[in-house]
Structure 1
Amino acid sequence: MKLHDTIAAIATPIGSGGIAILRLSGSRAEEIITQVAAAPSGKPLPKLEDRKLTLCCIHCFGHPDALIDQALAVIMRAPRSYTGEDVAEIHCHGGFFAASKILTELLAAGARLAESGEFTRRAFLNGKTDLTGAEAVMDMIDSRSGLGLQNAARSLGGALAKKIDALREDLMAVTARISAAADYPEEIDPPAPGETAAALQSLQAKIQALLDGFETGRMLRDGILTVIIGRPNVGKSSLLNALSRSDRAIVTDIPGTTRDVIEEYIRIGGISLRLLDTAGIRSGAGEVEQIGIERALSHAREADLCLFVIDSAEGITEEDKKIAEQLKDKHFLLLLNKTDREARITPEEARQELGIALQNIIQTAAPKDGPVIGIDTLETAISRMFLSGHLNPGEVYLSNTRQRDALLKSRDAIARAAEADSADLPYDLLYVDLEDALSALGEITGVTVQEEIIDQVFSRFCVGK
């Protein structure tokens, strides 16, 4: 990767649309645009005014008469730009061919095709953002819920970086105190008894609080992995259709209709559910259906939430009890379905037989002809389970494993230092562990990050970002 090149890429999704945007970054950005753009009058394009859209005609490089499109051009000069370099954009008509043709001409004029995430990588290297801000950009793009978007926006605004920087400052204060006492024992008194232990305990608690929010942050970004599970013909597919307000799944009275996993995203109370309808679980299934059952059980093991569906008109069967046993360590709601028919079991009887709290038992029905029953109650229960008491308004949550793993390394290094302190070991041993903890915290924002970690972060980005 040559950081002094001027790079170019299409910054908007490929396909039909009103506008497509091509982005350039580098010292030759304006020069390259003027080689493929002219004023509407046909005269050379004048020097672009900073941050002002200018109407122009785009032509082939070296062939001013070969017009491609009429567009708008804009320049954002360094350092007041996204990357910290001169950034130029062409806003042309949307469509695959027009944008691709213009990009070809920009490359012919001297630009280089950008690599994945190279624009944001240059922003990081030029001090316009840190790694938490760069990763927040991807979280905003990938977010599937309003609350996930808000969390990413807070991180993009520096909320997470401020927390990490505050931790590093506190840790550096402890490290500097120990280092000074070790290097100049005759001039500097050692920390008072219990002083280091108290400081390390406080740091551990703050780091643990951030780690405890990881699952919340992940679910805000990716959605709650929700698996609908139960025996065949209990109404799982009908419930998927009712929750998604669509005819996403085929519904028949034939057992085993659903043999593979059907996926749909829905939104409840600002959060997203990644909803999976799975094959009905039963013994004696054929080879193809058995593959679907194994996938259903695998997804259930990974799920954040299981919606366990029972046919209330049939009551609780031995197969239902076996499924309930596999879900005992999971977050799950029991749905007594088909309550539009004569029920053979009540919520109280289900509570006694399966040991489930009444508030987690919901009566539902999705008849072919008639209103859906219990979906609003189900959505309220899901919101209560995952939102009430879990979300702190204005708080920022970790949302990716790289950040979490770095925090874990820092926490473990501080724990080793605390053990060395309690054993009254030499300060040199504490210092080594505290330096490891500082380095791990620095990986989160990029202060002490290695090149391979930077490559890993930006490989997730699209080319135009």
Structure 2
Amino acid sequence: MSESTIAAISTPQGSGGISIVRMSGGSSFDIIKRIFKPFNKRELDRIKDNRMMRYGHIEKDGRVYDEVMVNFMKGPNTYTREDICEINCHGSMISVKDILNLLLDEGCDLAEPGEFTKRAFLNGRIDLSQAEAVLDIINSTNELSQKQGLKQLSGLLREKIEDIRDIQLEALSRIEYSINFTEDGQDLPLDDIISYVERANDEIKKLLSTANKGKLIKDGIETTIIGKPNVGKSSLLNVLLNENRAIVTDIPGTTRDSITEYINLGNLTLKINDTAGIRETEDKVEKIGVERSRELAEDADLVIAIFDRSRDFDQEDKIILDIIENKNAIIILNKLDLDSKIKKEDLGNNFKVIETSMISRDGIDKLEEAIFEIFDTKDLNKESLIITNLRHERLLNLAKEKIENALKDIKSQVPIDCVEVDLRSAYDDLGLIIGETVSDEIMDKVFREFCVGK
């Protein structure tokens, strides 16, 4: 445990009903006892007041800082496994900052980003994957991402990684026995070792197969709206957002650069890019925007291609169809209130076609239904554990590569002690996921993403 006692504001900045200033460390009780004056005059007691809310004032040298509720929690059964004290004060930034500054004057150190959770990890309460899950829950943008964060926080990923490492240990122990306790030419049969290594590899593959789903859950569905100028792309974005985020005019080329917004659609989050209209143009700035539109469409998980049904189908429309070929795409025929000059046959049979009006919002419900058909949340909910963290995915891929190299070497009759190097390294890679072996550099990188106070 750390010798210092840290303090930070644990609630978001700004005015509110209540704010919380938190301390963690061995001096927490002594500090709060010096500055807290209970309303009923009974002094704080380390044992009797453990996990009890006490009402009173924060005072020092005759100054009353605020009327508060104080909750002292005795370690080790706390978030950090250290003594913790939380001061619930009024949600005024003046009160909150004054109380924090008083705690610093009384001997606390200002907590670094994520330091409370870092102490929980260092003191053995949670592993590194669980620490990262705390951040995922805080940053979750939809119900699915929150559920996956809670599953990871419960230790589900740690248990799975430990199971795979146990399988690897079975293989490694047999290799160690062959190296150290058998005579030349009397190694243990390789079939048992191969069986354990293949089992470990299969389990890693199962986890990795969920990574693409994890990206959609955590980062949102990368969605790009494309079309010719003035067909209703920005209007669609505004309808989905229920606000005038994008400029809408009758002048073609108004949107010259992409606009990105996030919206929640049921259990899904869409990261929507409204792009510059795709057309032939001599304007240098607009040309850059058109090229950017193509790039965003190429990288998107979902493309929504909008066509103006009141205009004739032309060469530029054909270019848009070429862009969305072999993509998850939905076609919108916009301006339902006007006579149609585009036939559905012109658009082929590969995509869902929806007719809409951005003025009356007709067809928007069908667009949402079409998105749910492509990205079935029921299928996502079936997965008990989904890899949502890029660091975890990278380490799993490294372990998989080394295990497959080891399998290849075993079957090629490479000396068993050479095989052990790859297997041992893969074992360590999996340990990095849960923090069994972790450097200060990795820890700093993980906890740097946290807010101060968590």
Instruction: Settle same-fold status: TM greater than 0.5.
Output: yes
- Number of the residue aligned with 1:364: 356
- Number of the residue aligned with 1:397: 386
Query: Is the deviation greater in 264-273 or in 410-419?
Result: 264-273
Letter in 1 for 2:123: N
Q: 1:181 to 1:284 in 2, by over 3 A?
A: same
Query: Is the deviation greater in 42-51 or in 307-316?
Result: 42-51
Matches within 5 A, 1:8-407: 8-40=7-39, 45-47=44-46, 49-60=49-60, 63=61, 65-186=62-183, 190-351=187-348, 356-358=349-351, 360-367=352-359, 371-387=360-376, 390-393=379-382, 395-407=384-396
1:89-134 per-residue CA deviation (whole Å, 9 max, x = no partner) reads 0010102111111000000000000011110000001111011110
Contact kept? 1:34, 1:44, Cα under 8 Å: yes
Letter in 1 for 2:369: T
SS in 2 for 1:27: coil
Q: 1:193 to 1:433 in 2, by over 3 A?
A: closer
Equivalent-residue separation in structure 1 for 2:148 and 2:213 (angstroms): 10
Matches within 5 A, 1:430-449: 430-449=419-438
Equivalent-residue separation in structure 1 for 2:185 and 2:5 (angstroms): 53
Q: 1:285 to 1:29 in 2, by over 3 A?
A: farther
Residue 46 of structure 1, CA deviation: 4.9
Residue 21 of structure 1, CA deviation: 0.6
Equivalent-residue separation in structure 2 for 1:158 and 1:188 (angstroms): 43
SS in 1 for 2:8: strand
Letter in 1 for 2:283: G
SS in 1 for 2:16: coil
SS in 2 for 1:35: helix
Residue 394 of structure 1, CA deviation: 5.2
Residue 389 of structure 1, CA deviation: 6.9
Residue 49 of structure 1, CA deviation: 0.8
Contact kept? 2:313, 2:346, Cα under 8 Å: no
SS in 2 for 1:322: helix
Letter in 2 for 1:173: E
Residue 229 of structure 1, CA deviation: 1.2
Q: 1:202 to 1:336 in 2, by over 3 A?
A: farther
- The sequence identity of aligned pairs, in percent, is 39
Equivalent-residue separation in structure 1 for 2:380 and 2:450 (angstroms): 28
Equivalent-residue separation in structure 1 for 2:260 and 2:125 (angstroms): 38
Residue 373 of structure 1, CA deviation: 1.9
Residue 331 of structure 1, CA deviation: 2.3
Equivalent-residue separation in structure 1 for 2:337 and 2:324 (angstroms): 26
Equivalent-residue separation in structure 1 for 2:4 and 2:377 (angstroms): 50
Contact kept? 2:277, 2:290, Cα under 8 Å: yes
Q: 1:88 to 1:394 in 2, by over 3 A?
A: farther
Q: 1:411 to 1:211 in 2, by over 3 A?
A: same
Residue 388 of structure 1, CA deviation: 5.6
Aligned length: 453
SS in 2 for 1:57: strand
- Number of the residue aligned with 1:425: 414
Residue 43 of structure 1, CA deviation: 7.2
Equivalent-residue separation in structure 2 for 1:114 and 1:282 (angstroms): 53
Residue 189 of structure 1, CA deviation: 6.4
Query: Is the deviation greater in 392-401 or in 67-76?
Result: 392-401
Query: Is the deviation greater in 245-254 or in 87-96?
Result: 245-254
Contact kept? 1:143, 1:222, Cα under 8 Å: no
SS in 1 for 2:311: coil
Superposed CA RMSD in Å reads 2.1
Equivalent-residue separation in structure 2 for 1:330 and 1:441 (angstroms): 34
Letter in 2 for 1:366: M
Q: 1:67 to 1:294 in 2, by over 3 A?
A: farther
1:173-218 per-residue CA deviation (whole Å, 9 max, x = no partner) reads 1111121122111499644353333332332222122112112112
Equivalent-residue separation in structure 2 for 1:315 and 1:50 (angstroms): 75
- Number of the residue aligned with 2:447: 458
**5+ unaligned residues in a row in structure 1: which ranges?**
none
**5+ unaligned residues in a row in structure 2: which ranges?**
none
Equivalent-residue separation in structure 2 for 1:20 and 1:394 (angstroms): 37
Contact kept? 2:66, 2:89, Cα under 8 Å: yes
Query: Is the deviation greater in 293-302 or in 48-57?
Result: 293-302
SS in 2 for 1:18: strand
Equivalent-residue separation in structure 1 for 2:160 and 2:186 (angstroms): 30
Letter in 2 for 1:464: G
Equivalent-residue separation in structure 2 for 1:350 and 1:389 (angstroms): 30
Letter in 1 for 2:109: R
Contact kept? 1:45, 1:56, Cα under 8 Å: no
Equivalent-residue separation in structure 2 for 1:251 and 1:210 (angstroms): 45
Q: 1:21 to 1:251 in 2, by over 3 A?
A: same
Residue 273 of structure 1, CA deviation: 0.8
Contact kept? 2:174, 2:193, Cα under 8 Å: no
Query: Is the deviation greater in 186-195 or in 271-280?
Result: 186-195
Contact kept? 1:39, 1:46, Cα under 8 Å: no
